[in-house]
Amino acid sequence: MLVPKKILIIQLRRIGDVILTLPVINALRKNFPDAKIDFLTERPQDQFVRLSPQLDETLVYDKRHPFVWIKNLRKRGYDCVLDFHSNGRTLVLTALSGAKWKVGFCGPLTRALAYNLRVEPKAGSYIVDKKLGMLGALGLNVERWNWDLKLPQESMDWADQFLKEAGVAGPPFKLAGIAPCSRRETRRWLPERWVQVLAGIVKRSHSALFLWGPGEQVEIEHLRDQTRALLGPEPSGQGRLIMPPLTNLMQMAALIKRCSFVVCVDNGPMNMAIALETPSLAIFGPTQPLSMSPQNHPVHSMVNDENLFCIACGKNQCPYRHECMQNITSESVLQRLERYLK
């Protein structure tokens, strides 16, 4: 087994990818208790990275100054760099880091030039297990892992106050987190079916809390207004539709932590719910469920049309009629939510 003394983990973006890399920190700390372990990422993902108590330093990369960062990494004297991002920028950072062990996944020739230790990713496994498999280059075999995340108390207090002002009784809260947005069109479910699911949740005396980020306000307002139109005036004692203001990542995480469950597509809130141990149901089309959903998990599950010939294609543009999402009915989603709505 290799024994590095100064380790750098690289995962610059996106929120979900960064969250799914965090268990690597705990695995490294367990096996190398005396090593210095740092994590290089970008804003705003650094908010999640800073939650890890096992990390020494969070470095926030500025892409406007790539040469400064090359110099910075060389000056820090890492003997091991683990590149989980593997794009052009991080390949250069890793190759020029001066580290003795430059580790990454097998792939194109550019990776062979950047990494002197390469690992074949585990096929058909959850992405966290794939990432932990990279540590095999150091002689580690990690079978058990966790996130070990504790949200800031000020964020939890903010969430509790917001929910109180919104009229949601608790804790515990009868609160469904709703995360319908995705930057990739093929991952989105039909708006009219979201409306049916929202109405079904509210009729079961749960409040529906929209989880949204920059650029998603119009889409969320449309779902809220269409659901209100379907439901009519809110009867006394039933749930309600709640749209919080634009939040930072820690505020959204705190809201997710307070939810009874989260209904989502393949997006950042889905990974946040999994990491925060909030029960979740993910609606998948092109997403590969073996990679993005923990298998046989007691509280995290997904729904998809597993019999479709092109299911889990991974494409960002559908060459057909988007049947993978078209074929998922609101009734099937509500049926899967029954155990959470009791």
**158-174 confidence digits (pLDDT tens):** 999 999 988 887 777 88
The predicted structure's pLDDT at residue 290: 82
**CA dist., res. 209 & res. 173, Å (int):** 11
Q: Which tokens go with 238?
A: 């039933």
Cβ proximity of 144 and 31 under 8 Å:
no
Percent of the chain with pLDDT over 90: 76
Cβ proximity of 247 and 154 under 8 Å:
no
pLDDT averaged over every residue in the chain: 92
**CA dist., res. 202 & res. 205, Å (int):** 5
The predicted structure's pLDDT at residue 337: 95
6-138 CATH choice from 3.40.50.10360, 3.30.540.10, 3.40.640.10, 3.40.50.2000? 3.40.50.2000
Q: At what angle do helices 268-275 and 249-258 cross, to 10 degrees?
A: 60
Assign 32 to helix, strand or coil.
coil
pLDDT in tens, 237-270: 456 899 999 999 999 999 999 999 999 999 999 9
Cβ proximity of 7 and 35 under 8 Å:
yes
Intrachain domains 6-138 and 153-341 with the same fold = yes
96 contact partners, CB below 8 Å, separation of at least 6: 70, 73, 74
pLDDT at 89 over 80: yes
> Average pLDDT for residues 304-321, to the nearest whole number?
90
Local confidence band at 299 (pLDDT 50, 70, 90 cut-offs): confident
Cβ proximity of 80 and 138 under 8 Å:
yes
* Per-domain residue ranges of the chain: 6-138, 153-341
222 contact partners, CB below 8 Å, separation of at least 6: 191
pLDDT at 45 over 70: yes
Local confidence band at 128 (pLDDT 50, 70, 90 cut-offs): very high
**CA dist., res. 133 & res. 54, Å (int):** 19
The predicted structure's pLDDT at residue 237: 47
Strand ranges (E), the chain: 6-10, 36-41, 57-60, 80-83, 101-105, 117-119, 175-179, 207-210, 241-242, 261-264, 280-283, 300-303
Q: Write out the CATH class of domain 153-341.
A: alpha beta
Q: Find where tokens 């509280």 sit.
A: 299
